[in-house]
Structure formats: C-alpha cells, structure tokens
Structure 1
Amino acid sequence: MTVKFISKAASKVNEERLLNLFLDLAKVNGPSGKEQLVADYLLEELPKLGFSVTFDEAYKKFNGEVGNLIAWHEGSDNSIPPLFFSTHMDTVLPTENLNPIIKNGIISSDGTTILGADDRAALASYIEGFRAVIESGIPHGPIEFILTVNEQAGLVGAKYLDYTIPKSKAGYIFDSSGDVGQVILQGPYSSRIWFTVHGNSAHIALNSEVGNNAFLIAAEGLLKMKLGEIDNETVANIGIIKGGELTSIIPGSVIFGGEVRSFSQEKLNRQLDHMKGIMEEVANKNNARLDVKIEEKYLGFNVSEDNKLVINVKEATKNINVSHYVTKTLGGADTNILNENGLTCITLGNGFQNIHTFNEYISIENLNNTGRLTASLIEQWYENHKQ
C-alpha cells in the first residue's frame, strides 16, 4: 500500500535512488583527515542540483587533505531566511573494500569494515531530499549545506570552520542513533583534564630506596575520585594512562587523562575541581609533583522548544507520518561547535546503530525517512515563513 504524505516534496523522494546514492557514498573511502575523495564526489554532484560549492582552509590546521565544504543554493524565493543542513564527510575508520549487505530491510557491511552510515546516511539523504524538493516544483528559500571534515577526531573541522563563509544562521544536523523523529534540543559542555605525576624513578634492585612510584600515587588518586555517572547531568571518565620505561624501573612519572561532560557548566567545573583537588592532595601526601592541564572541548547548547527550528521539525515530521519526541544527549556533535559560533541548530535522529564498529547498520526505513524529513523540513520552513 502506498503511503500518502502531506508533504508534497517528501512524496517525491525516490527510495531506490536514495539507497543507491547511500551505497555509492558509503563506498567512498574517507576516514578523518582523508576526505578528498568524498569532497570530489560532492563537488561533482552538488552543482548538478544548482549549488555553488566553496571549501575553506581548515585542513591546514591539522594537516588534512581538504577543508570543510559549504554549498549554497539561492532557492526560488530569497525572501525566506536561509536554512542549512550540516553533517560530516569523514568516517571513524576506512570503508575501503566495503561490501554492503541488505537483509530484512537492514543495511550493514559484511563484517570486515564499518558501514559508514555515520554519517553518509545524512549526506545521501540531504542530496535526495533536496532533489525531491526540486522535482516537486514547490517554492523554497535558500538552502545551504555545511559539510565538515575530521569530525570523528573531536569535531576538529567544525572548530576550524571559516565562519565568514556560511550565509545561513539556522539549521539541522542529522547525526544521532535515534530513529527519525528524535529531536535533540540540549547537548553537553565538555572538557578534558590531564594529570602528570612526577615521583622519582629508581632501579628496583639497585637503589629502590630512592624510588617514588608515580603509578601508585596515581592509583591512590584515581581510587578516591568520583568517576562514572556523577549525577543525572554529569559524567566523568579517565580513559588514558601512559608511563613506565622498563619492568625493572620504578616509574618516576605517569600521565593520565580523562573527560568530564555535563549539561551544567557549574557542575562540569565542580567535577574538574574535585578531580584536581584529589590529585593535589595525594601528590602532596606522597612528596610528588603534579601538573594539571584542563582543555575545553566544546560548550553546551540548549535550544528552546518555542524556537522556529523546533516548531518547524514538529510540523515536518507530522507531514511524513512520523512521530517526534524531544530529548537531550551527553554525546557531542558538530551541533555544539556550530551553536557556539552563532549558527543555531539542533541534532536530529537518523537511526544508525552500533556506530564505530563492524556491526554498524541502518534500516532502509530510517534512511528513507531521513530523506523525506529533509524534504519536508525545507517545504515547511517555507510555509512557516510565508504565513
């Protein structure tokens, strides 16, 4: 039975064309910092839809291959505020020699590579969704694609995006494991914290009496720290430990680092202060020297439910017969960085699962609905601004 959509544009999404486009994009190898082939593919396809394409020079900041891609379409009515769609061009691991498998409505790899649905699913859906808008013949305002590089390595491309290039100030990022209909309005503040404990190295047999084991000092501090889920808004973790020379040498120094995320800047700072205070106390007790470095990763965002973007997506989901729900996440995304730099946006679910593993998959239903919702968002954005 054919499902009828209120959205005229969404009804023009061609499921077979979208599937083939996704599979083509998934097979284009483009791990973080090596996105040139993806950029080349998009540079060929986007102008066919009427986009002008610009690249910035963000890659020079991290020795990458290519910069962020910003594509602009004038639309049919430039009196409408422009709307952007953003995602990243990179995958966390290579997709070279990808062999996609489709079974029971699920797309996966053969288990020897990742699938790269994170986030080639969004890239394909943006292209098909906009193509459907054109083919439907509906009026629409200017549309912009902001496609970043090196996202998987820590939102690096978005951090170095040339923010003088984008013309739009509001948009969407499909980049979440929730099914289509998920609307993420709040994201966390995040900071890294690094500790270096300086004890004193010594040979275990020849002069152990002068040794001061930095590992044991670090361990004492870690056991006293509050880690994991601190409260329902805050999490903390120690994820890296480096040190040691030989099994016969008492280690004189150790470096370890972690991360704190919270919906509250105050709670984030409080947790960082706690971790720092514990290690200072333990280091002083054990006659060790301590260095502490805190790095801000990104700021949090919190978009109100009465924001035009949220109203628009609620109406657009109804127009494609999909239920919506609003939520928040402690996961980071380019959404954090773009909001921090004045581009108001929210994260939407597009349904990929088991990302960053060889068991990654996405349903054909979520892929199709991402394309349909892209088209519906453009259509509804125009209607809302013409009222």
Structure 2
Amino acid sequence: MKTQFQAAEAVNGERLLDSFLQLAKINAPSGDEKLMADVLVPLLTEMGFTIQFDEANKRIGGNCGNLIAWWDGTDPELPPLFLSTHMDTVLPTEGLNPVIKDGVIYSDGTTILGADDRAALAAYLEAIRVIQETGARCGPIELILTVYEQPGLVGARYLDYAKVRSKTGYIFDSSGDVGQIILQGPYSSRIWWEIEGKQSHIGLNPEEGINAILIAAAALREMQLGKVSEETLANIGVIEGGELTSIIPGKVKVSGEVRSFTATGLQEQIEHMCAAVTEAAESLGGTAHVRVEKKYAGFAIPDHSAFVQSAIRAAERIGVKSYLTRTLGGADTNVLNENGLTCITLGLGFRNIHSFQEHISVENLVNTGKYAAALICEWYEMHKPK
C-alpha cells in the first residue's frame, strides 16, 4: 500500500508553486478562456491526454468551449474518475505580479490573484505528473475544464455531456482549507421586478406622480432578507431607476437572488418577496412585473457513500484533517450533479476571492496537489480487481 500512495508524497512543491504562478499570470477572464486553453492543450497532450472541446462558447459568446481531456491511466478497464474546475477568472489578471510573504501568495494589490481556480488547475497537473512519474496504478482520469463559470456556472450549463465519459469526480473550488468536503449545495434563482408608478414633474404636477422608488422602498421594508434561516439566504443586489432630481420616477428595476438548501425553501422565499412587491405596488397605485430565472439546482451526497468515504481516507493519507459540511455558495458541482454526474466540492484554501486581497497559502496549494493524487490512488484501491 505504501508504494501505491508514494505519488501523493512525491508532489513537488516547488514545481507546483511555479506552475500555479505561471497559470495565474495567463489573462483569461470569463468569455476569453482561449489563452488558458492554448497553454493547457500542449501540456496535457504531452502527458498522454486526448483533448476535445465542445461548442458551449457558441451559446454564450465566448472564444473557447469547455475542454474535456482523457487519459487511460494504467488500468483503462476500471471506472474513470474526473477532476473538474473552471478556466476563467472573475476579473482580468493582466499584469499580475505575485508576491509571497510568510508562506502566503498574494498579488501586489493591483489585480486579483486568480487562485480561484488556477490553484486547482496547477494541483491537478502536478498530481497527474507524480502519478505518472512514480508508476502509481490508476484508472482512467478525465479533466472537465469549464468556461464562463464566474458569471453563474454558465459553461457547465452548456457543457456537451455526451462528450463526458466518467460519472464520478471531485471539484476543488472552495475557500475551506484542504480537508473540507462539501456534501450539499443550494438551489438558487434570480429575480427581477419592473415596478411602475407614474412619472411627473415635482414643480409642475407633483400630485399626479406615483413614485416607483417609494413603491420599491415599501416592498423592501416588508421583505425578509439576508440570512432568512439556516436553510435560506436572500438578497436585493441592484436597484435602477430615476432620471432627474426634478422628476418623480415612474419606473424602477429591482433585482436580487435567493439560495436555499431545499427547493421548497427557495420557492417559499421567492413567493414571499414577490408578494411584498405586489402588495406595495397595489397599495400605492402602481404595478409590478416579475421575472424569475433559475440559476442552478441543489445537490446532496450521502456521507456514507463509498465515494465520500474514499475522500475521507485520501485526506487521512496526506495527514490533513477532513470535515464534512455544506455551503450556500454555488459551484460547477451544482450543475454537474443536476446533469447526471456525481461529484462533491472540496476546499483548497483560497481566501478573499474576487478581490485584490485574494490569497492562498503555499501549504494549502501543495496539500491540494497531494490530495488530488491521493484521491486518484484511493479511487484505484476502491475499484481494482480483487
């Protein structure tokens, strides 16, 4: 058993750090992932992967489709395992200047770092390298590398699932330290209201005006927002309306979103918020029109499943403490599970993502590489011929 798991022990921290820094500097924000794909394709081809792209970009307007890569491993008859993450960043990383201080990797404060999720990409590459270099036995490995994840898991939604050959996998894409195992994720929907009052001039005919902003304010006073319960979150994020300070606004747009661990909780909160807008509009003489759009469905994986227990054992193999949890944050995990794959989200320890203060410790980065290698080895142990 020791020989099989030497791959995780053999992760080269310096090589992994260098790989991450190089990948982080590639400027490939959402919709512009081709630069990242152009770097990954020759790297993966050299490692023995066959590469294919789908045409998700034609549906979302990007310059690159989702990348699906396949390697037979040493035992191609075993069930395949996938590792997935996204190729985009939420903001550009052009001009990124990484700074390492006290064992933590930052940008210089003028860009994001892009650890979300270049750290996972670098870790996957290192894990597979050491699997190959040490001769550890493994089944087929598939990489599902999506585009346009940051604006709302869009690339995964339009992934050509007919091109995916594996059914089970892991996604490193959470701020928890390595060892975090997320078994449940939320249902989520966006909501838009167009609230109509009646426009008029404050100095000429104020008595004829119906202020749409006041209708929105009255509705918001009645809404339960923020942490509604342990199961449900709700937020109003954008309000747009008005033209001039002298004009009573006749229209205002309000938008927000709801997340809940249950479909019932999601629907009840949406209905509550819609009722607040409708009642406010009616009481003040206006009208309201609503549009609700599903973002993604929730998922829940049983903690007793062999798949989860394998992840727990893999964490033990590399000497990190595992813990099971759930999150109201969304990830490609939601969409892949909804489309018939089985996967869970794992922590890799990035912090302050989507900001210029984003950072990740070298320890978490290296442990992500070790954990990915250990997961591959555990998958083999679980499925090897008896």
TM-score, normalised via structure 1 length: 0.98
State the match for 1:30 in structure 2.
Answer: 28
State the match for 1:349 in structure 2.
Answer: 347
State the match for 1:299 in structure 2.
Answer: 297
- Given residue 194 of structure 1, which amino acid in structure 2 is its aligned partner? W
Paired residues of 1:5 and 1:321 also in contact (CA < 8 A):
no
Moved more, 280-289 or 234-243: 280-289
- Tell whether 2:208 aligns with 1:204: no
Q: Distance in 2 between matches of 1:19 and 1:237?
A: 37
- Given residue 323 of structure 1, which amino acid in structure 2 is its aligned partner? K
State the match for 1:191 in structure 2.
Answer: 189
Moved more, 332-341 or 286-295: 286-295
1:264 CA drift (Å):
1.2
Indicate which of 70, 86, 89 corresponds to 1:88. 86
Indicate which of 262, 265, 270 corresponds to 2:263. 265
Paired residues of 1:173 and 1:335 also in contact (CA < 8 A):
yes
Paired residues of 1:5 and 1:11 also in contact (CA < 8 A):
no
- Tell whether 2:253 aligns with 1:281: no
Q: Per-residue CA shift, 1:122-172, capped at 9, x if unaligned? A: 000000001110111011100000000111111111111111111000000
Q: Secondary structure at the match of 2:170?
A: strand
Q: Distance in 2 between matches of 1:225 and 1:323?
A: 40
1:308 CA drift (Å):
2.5
Paired residues of 1:5 and 1:320 also in contact (CA < 8 A):
no
Q: How does 1:80-229 map to 2 (within 5 A)?
A: 80-229=78-227
Q: Per-residue CA shift, 1:59-106, capped at 9, x if unaligned? A: 111211101100001111122110000000001111111111112111
Paired residues of 2:65 and 2:147 also in contact (CA < 8 A):
yes
Paired residues of 1:113 and 1:358 also in contact (CA < 8 A):
yes
Indicate which of 362, 370, 374 corresponds to 2:368. 370
1:271 CA drift (Å):
0.7
Q: Distance in 1 between matches of 2:6 and 2:303?
A: 26
Q: Distance in 1 between matches of 2:24 and 2:238?
A: 31
* Paired positions, count: 384
Q: Secondary structure at the match of 1:256?
A: strand
In the alignment, structure 2 segments of 5+ residues that lack a partner are none
Q: Per-residue CA shift, 1:13-54, capped at 9, x if unaligned? A: 111111110000000111111111100000110011100111
Q: Secondary structure at the match of 2:163?
A: coil
- Given residue 297 of structure 2, which amino acid in structure 1 is its aligned partner? L
Q: Distance in 2 between matches of 1:7 and 1:90?
A: 32
RMSD: 1.1
In the alignment, structure 1 segments of 5+ residues that lack a partner are none
TM-score, normalised via structure 2 length: 0.98
Q: Secondary structure at the match of 2:227?
A: strand
State the match for 2:234 in structure 1.
Answer: 236
Q: Distance in 2 between matches of 1:110 and 1:80?
A: 45
Indicate which of 17, 20, 40 corresponds to 1:19. 17
Q: Distance in 2 between matches of 1:74 and 1:298?
A: 32
Q: Secondary structure at the match of 2:6?
A: coil
State the match for 1:321 in structure 2.
Answer: 319
Percent of pairs identical after alignment? 60
- Tell whether 2:219 aligns with 1:249: no
Paired residues of 1:236 and 1:258 also in contact (CA < 8 A):
yes
Q: Per-residue CA shift, 1:332-370, capped at 9, x if unaligned? A: 000000000011100000000111111111111100000
Q: Distance in 2 between matches of 1:316 and 1:256?
A: 46
Distance 1:222 1:373, change over 3 A: same
Q: Distance in 1 between matches of 2:237 and 2:272?
A: 17
Q: Distance in 2 between matches of 1:227 and 1:149?
A: 31
1:218 CA drift (Å):
0.8
- Given residue 267 of structure 1, which amino acid in structure 2 is its aligned partner? G
Q: Distance in 2 between matches of 1:384 and 1:11?
A: 20
- Given residue 99 of structure 2, which amino acid in structure 1 is its aligned partner? I
Paired residues of 2:3 and 2:136 also in contact (CA < 8 A):
no
Q: Secondary structure at the match of 2:62?
A: coil
Paired residues of 1:5 and 1:319 also in contact (CA < 8 A):
no
Q: Secondary structure at the match of 1:31?
A: coil
Moved more, 200-209 or 25-34: 200-209
Q: Distance in 1 between matches of 2:284 and 2:101?
A: 60
Paired residues of 1:33 and 1:64 also in contact (CA < 8 A):
yes
